[in-house]
């Protein structure tokens, strides 16, 4: 059975493709080296020095973060990448419960 992607997944893929399409022009401006940029569909909606600033701008614009692709302006491989459509990039890290008595870091 063929794996079907949701409309949200397809939107993220379109956004990633728009980022990769625009990347050479973004790389041409040394000011934006290692800056973050957000796309929703074909539209660039935010450009800032940090991911936090980009995400704040997306929220200010009323965009759902699970429908936004955020990329870093650095050279990228031309090979196909797997796109995780989830918002969180990393798994929770747990403290040593025996020594701290604390749960997962949030």
pLDDT digits (tens, 9 = 90+) for 62-91: 998 888 999 999 987 766 656 555 555 445
Specify the pLDDT at position 67. 87
* Cα(55)–Cα(37) distance, integer angstroms: 9
Q: DSSP states of 20-61 as a string?
A: HHHHHHHHT-GGGTT-EEEEETTEEEEEESSHHHHHHHHHHT
Whether pLDDT at 16 is above 90: yes
Q: Using 50, 70 and 90 to split pLDDT, how confident is the model at 53?
A: very high
Mean pLDDT is lowest, of 41-45, 50-54, 99-103, for 99-103
Strand duo 43-48 + 69-72: pairing:
unpaired
Whether pLDDT at 8 is above 70: yes
Its pTM stands at 0.67
């Amino acid at each position: 059975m063929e794996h079907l992607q949701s409309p949200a997944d397809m939107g993220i893929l379109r956004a990633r493709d728009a980022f990769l399409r625009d990347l050479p022009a973004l790389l041409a401006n040394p000011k934006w080296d290692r800056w973050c940029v957000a796309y929703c569909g074909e539209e660039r909606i935010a450009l800032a020095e940090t991911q936090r600033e980009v995400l704040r701008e997306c929220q200010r614009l009323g965009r759902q973060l699970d429908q936004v692709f955020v990329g870093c302006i650095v050279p990228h491989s031309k090979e196909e990448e797997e796109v995780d459509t989830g918002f969180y990039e990393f798994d929770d890290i747990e403290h040593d419960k025996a020594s701290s008595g604390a749960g997962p870091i949030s």
